[in-house]
Amino acid sequence: MILVTGGAGFIGANFVLDWIASTGEPVLNLDALTYAGNLESLKSVAGDARHVFVKGDIGDRALLDRLLAEHRPRAVIHFAAESHVDRSIHGPGAFIKTNIEGTYTLLEAVRAHWSSLAGDAKAAFRFHHVSTDEVYGSLGPGDPAFTETHTYEPNSPYSASKAASDHLVRAWHHTYGLPVLTTNCSNNYGPYHFPEKLIPLMIVNALAGKPLPVYGDGMQVRDWLYVKDHAAAIRAVLAQGRPGETYNVGGWNERPNIEIVRSICALLDEMRPDAAGSYTRLITHVTDRPGHDRRYAIDARKIERELGWRPAETFETGIRKTVRWYLDNADWVQHVQSGSYRDWVATNYSARTAA
């Protein structure tokens, strides 16, 4: 079996569902169920013997040792993290704790487990670290996209904590020989995405007739990848990636935020027209994010050349599926909009004046 950390979060849950459907191999899913973890996203595998869920923290060494000894996974895929830039600005401490200290504790537990293996099991073992393009910092409009050798220039507490975790993973390979793989992926979108991030927030707010808060001029550029394509990329790297290597994963799809918001409005106008008029009427430019990175872009040629992976979805097909999913899963959305979600919305948006 494989051990997945953070498998109740957005990408982790999509990965677990995709993994079980495409490989049938059992998954041990360790997740602390923070505000971002949601077992409802895993409802379809709730009674499935191939999915074993354990609520716990990656910083709990005794728990990690016990789980590794009991289940003896052949690979660990590490998604667990604090993942939201705006939250890292309001409270960086949790990012240091989970993303840096948690990854360190996990690496040490996995190193002990891997050291106890022998022969083929030891040779085949992999630790796959799931990271982000944000570690590379911000690009100017004409700069080439990030390659795997781009310098690390993280600008937010979130990206700095992920950069630190990438460095730890690298060092555990170079110093101890741990067979690690790292993927640095661009912005994901798709089903089960918590509505604090741009795309689900815009869909959910539009459906509720609330303002669509675009930070600053909305001309910040991200590269967007449909989450199931990310899951497929991780499967490819896990199967064939070379230990110690990093692979950039992206959608070949750079777009400014305002264009993303307009695409969502256009789809909602088509699929759920509002008598009050186009959803674009709700677009509101608000105070920018401090230190806001202007542009991310991924050069995903290495993973294509070496492993034959390319995204299957275009932005048009992926965003249509995503909007459809949110329209069809109003219950999931309603359940995640708990008291703590409302507190976060007040924290992040009440001091942002219309710009």
- Give yes or no for residue 160 binding ligand NAD (CB under 6 A): no
When the beta carbons of 56 and 211 are compared against ligand TYD, the nearer one is: 211
CA-to-CA separations, 187 to 142, 224, 325, in angstroms, rounded = 20, 5, 18
DSSP, res 316: H
Q: Applying CB under 6 A, which of residues 213, 241, 251, 311 lies at the interface with ligand TYD?
A: 213
Please report which residue ranges of 57-128 form alpha helices under DSSP H.
61-71, 85-90, 93-95, 103-115, 119-124
CA 185/CA 62 separation, integer angstroms: 31
- Segment near ligand TYD (CB under 6 A), from 30-38, 51-59, 70-78, 207-215? 207-215
Q: Applying CB under 6 A, which of residues 4, 9, 150, 229 lies at the interface with ligand NAD?
A: 9
CA 245/CA 264 separation, integer angstroms: 36
- Segment near ligand TYD (CB under 6 A), from 87-95, 194-202, 298-306, 326-334? 194-202
Min separation Cβ 289 and ligand TYD, Å: 6
Q: Applying CB under 6 A, which of residues 85, 106, 232, 268 lies at the interface with ligand TYD?
A: 85
Active site annotation includes 133: yes
Within residues 102-161, the interface with ligand TYD by CB under 6 A covers none
Tokens of 342: 């409302």
CA 18/CA 20 separation, integer angstroms: 6
For the chain, the maximum distance between any two Cα atoms, rounded to a whole number of angstroms, is 67
- How many other C-beta atoms are found inside a 10 Å radius of the C-beta of residue 244? 15
- Give yes or no for residue 222 binding ligand TYD (CB under 6 A): yes
**R_g (Cα) of the chain, nearest Å:** 20
Pairing, β 221-226 against β 254-256: antiparallel
Q: Applying CB under 6 A, which of residues 35, 104, 152, 215 lies at the interface with ligand TYD?
A: 215
Find tokens 């495409």 and name the residue.
Answer: 22
Active site annotation includes 152: no
Tokens of 354: 């219309």
CA atoms within 13 A of residue 266's CA, in its CB half-sphere: 9
Print the binding letters for residues 188-227 with ligand NAD: x by CB under 6 A, - otherwise. x-----x---------------------------------
Annotated catalytic residue within 136, 148, 158, 166: 158
When the beta carbons of 191 and 213 are compared against ligand NAD, the nearer one is: 191
- Give yes or no for residue 80 binding ligand NAD (CB under 6 A): yes
Annotated catalytic residue within 133, 229, 254, 313: 133
When the beta carbons of 139 and 180 are compared against ligand TYD, the nearer one is: 139
When the beta carbons of 64 and 185 are compared against ligand TYD, the nearer one is: 185
- Give yes or no for residue 201 binding ligand TYD (CB under 6 A): yes
- Give yes or no for residue 282 binding ligand NAD (CB under 6 A): no
Within residues 239-268, the interface with ligand TYD by CB under 6 A covers 257
Going by C-alpha positions, the residue among 257, 248, 222 that lies closest to residue 310 is: 248
Q: What is the DSSP string of 324-343?
A: HHHHH-HHHHHHH--HHHHH
Min separation Cβ 104 and ligand TYD, Å: 23
Please answer whether residues 147 and 302 qualify as being in contact, where contact means their C-beta atoms are separated by less than 8 angstroms.
Answer: yes
Phi, psi angles (nearest 5°) of residue 149: -100, 5
CA-to-CA separations, 250 to 130, 164, 231, 292, in angstroms, rounded = 13, 21, 12, 20
- Give yes or no for residue 230 binding ligand TYD (CB under 6 A): no
- Give yes or no for residue 187 binding ligand TYD (CB under 6 A): yes
Binding residues (CB under 6 A) for ligand TYD: these are: 85, 187, 197-198, 201, 213-215, 220, 222, 257, 289
Binding residues (CB under 6 A) for ligand NAD: these are: 5-6, 8-12, 31-34, 36-37, 57-59, 79-81, 83, 98, 102, 130-132, 162, 185, 187-188, 194
